[in-house]
Every structure is written in C-alpha cells, then in structure tokens.
Amino acid sequence: MAGAFKVSVEGATLSGEQRGESPDLVLVHGMAGDRHEWDRLAEALPPDLGILRYDLRGFGRSEAREDVAYSHTDDLLALFDQRGIGRAAVVGLSMGGGIALNFALSHPQRVSRLILVSPAMVGWEWSDEWKDLWRAVAEPARKGDMALARERWLMHPMFAVARESEAAADLRHGIEAYHGRQWVRDRQRDELPDIDRLHSLAMPALLLTGEHDFADLRLIADVIEGAAPGVERIDYAGAGHMLHIERPSQVAQAIISFIGGVPQAG
C-alpha cells in the first residue's frame, strides 16, 4: 500500500502518497496548499511512522469537476474506505483542521486521535476583518488576475510570522503553485456549524496554536479548548499560523508524544 496513489470519489480523483504499509497519521492540508506543504513535518517525524497525505479535491494533483457539489469530509471517508484504513490519527492544518474536526465529529469510530494545527472550523462565523481580507483576494482572482490574488494571500496577516521564517520560500512556492479556483468558485456544500457539536468530541485531541495567529483563528482554538472534552493544548510563544513549517521539530515531537502507544491503523 506504500507509494503514490489515486482514489476516485464522486466528481473527483484524489491524489496522494503513503509512507509505510499502514498509516499511523493521515494529514489534511490547508487552503492554497497541497500535500507537499507537509514535507518539513514529515522529515521531522520518525521514518518508521506510517504517514498518508493527499491533495484535497481541486488542490495539487487532485482533479475535480467544477459542476459537482461536494464535502471534504465525505471525500476523506471515501479515502479511508478505499485505502482500507479502519482507524487512524488525523492531523489537520488550518482549513484542513476544520475538515479533520468535522470528520472526527461525524465519524468518531474512524479517528483514534485528533491533532489540530491552527484549525479553522466548519460553519464558523468569520469576523468582518477576515471577510474583508478574503474579498481582497477573491476579487482579483475572479477578474483573472491570479498573480495579484496570490500576492495578497501571501501578505495575509496569518502568514506574518512564516514570511519572516526560514520557511518563507516554502510558503511562497506553495501559494504560487496554487491555481486559485476556490477563490473564484467553490461548490463545497453548506453544513451545520460544528461549534454546536464540540461537546460530543469522542477521542483525545491535541490542539497546537501560535501566539501570533490571526484573531479569528485564536478564537476558534479558544472555543475548541473550552467546549470539547479531552483537549490538550500547546500554545507556542512567538509562533504564528503555519506551525508545521515554522516549528516542524517541535510540532513533530508534540505529535509523537501524543500518539505514543496508539495501535497501528486497521
């Protein structure tokens, strides 16, 4: 089962890769990224740790029909089923953190442990400041000026720390490689807010946050920590949103400590 793979889901084909015969960790990337944004973290994790990472529908090498409504959570469930993963720890970054949380709430029997890195949340009511920043990116994208959209996304306040880190080139490369279709139109289905389900989170969860992340994302983390049972939080002083590239060794160590003793996926 190790190596590159493709999984067919309704209206799309997901592209990914697996290290090891059975994944201990399933990694879900963020907005305007792909599975390669996990490279630094994967290198910091033990080589014998099984890792599966994939490109979300419409990102990276994954293909998608633009006329089909979809759910990232349904896609992740199909990936688990088709790859024969009964249960695994799931790691989600930013938008991917929102997907991972939604998946864990909807399919708790498939998630042994949940690791959320600077997570978003499905159904979250974003602040006016966040919406203004999003519109500043989406408007040039819809007019066909993807270069301006990418530059504005790169300059988003949530990337402030990463832009000044040794991983700045990785951040820019990932954004420049993004085609921008989700800024123009996204057929993702609307779902009920996960904030109303946090009390039912059924597995241990690790919440990793940066002191200097954007205010909306800091608030999401505070809500998860306060409302979901069994959440362990590590808040990194001086860090921002992109902990997996800003602090890969520290994040890797936190994950290793958290999943220690968890049985192999099955």
Domain at 241, CATH number: 3.40.50.1820
Please indicate, yes or no, if residue 31 is contained in any of the structural domains: yes
Is the predicted pLDDT of residue 264 greater than 90, yes or no?
no
pLDDT tens-digit map of 178-211:
999 899 988 999 899 999 999 999 999 999 999 9
Please indicate, yes or no, if residue 150 is contained in any of the structural domains: no
Which residue range(s) make up the domain with 35? 3-124+187-259
Please indicate, yes or no, if residue 101 is contained in any of the structural domains: yes
Please indicate, yes or no, if residue 80 is contained in any of the structural domains: yes
- Number of domains observed in the structure of the chain: 1
Query: What is the chain written as a DSSP string?
Result: --EEEEEEETTEEEEEEEESSS-SEEEE--TT--GGGGHHHHHHS-TTS-EEEEPPTTSTT-EE-TT--B-HHHHHHHHHHHTT---EEEEEETHHHHHHHHHHHH-GGGEEEEEEES---TT----HHHHHHHHHHHHHHHTT-HHHHHHHHHT-GGGHHHHTSTTHHHHHHHHHT---HHHH---BPP---GGGGGGG--S-EEEEEETTS-HHHHHHHHHHHHHSTTEEEEEETT--S-HHHHSHHHHHHHHHHHHTTPPPP-
- What is the model's pLDDT at position 2? 79
pTM of the complete model: 0.96
Is the predicted pLDDT of residue 266 greater than 70, yes or no?
no
Please indicate, yes or no, if residue 173 is contained in any of the structural domains: no
How confident is the model over 134-154, as a mean pLDDT? 97
Please indicate, yes or no, if residue 164 is contained in any of the structural domains: no
Is the predicted pLDDT of residue 85 greater than 50, yes or no?
yes
pLDDT tens-digit map of 23-42:
999 999 999 789 999 999 99
Please indicate, yes or no, if residue 202 is contained in any of the structural domains: yes
Please indicate, yes or no, if residue 129 is contained in any of the structural domains: no
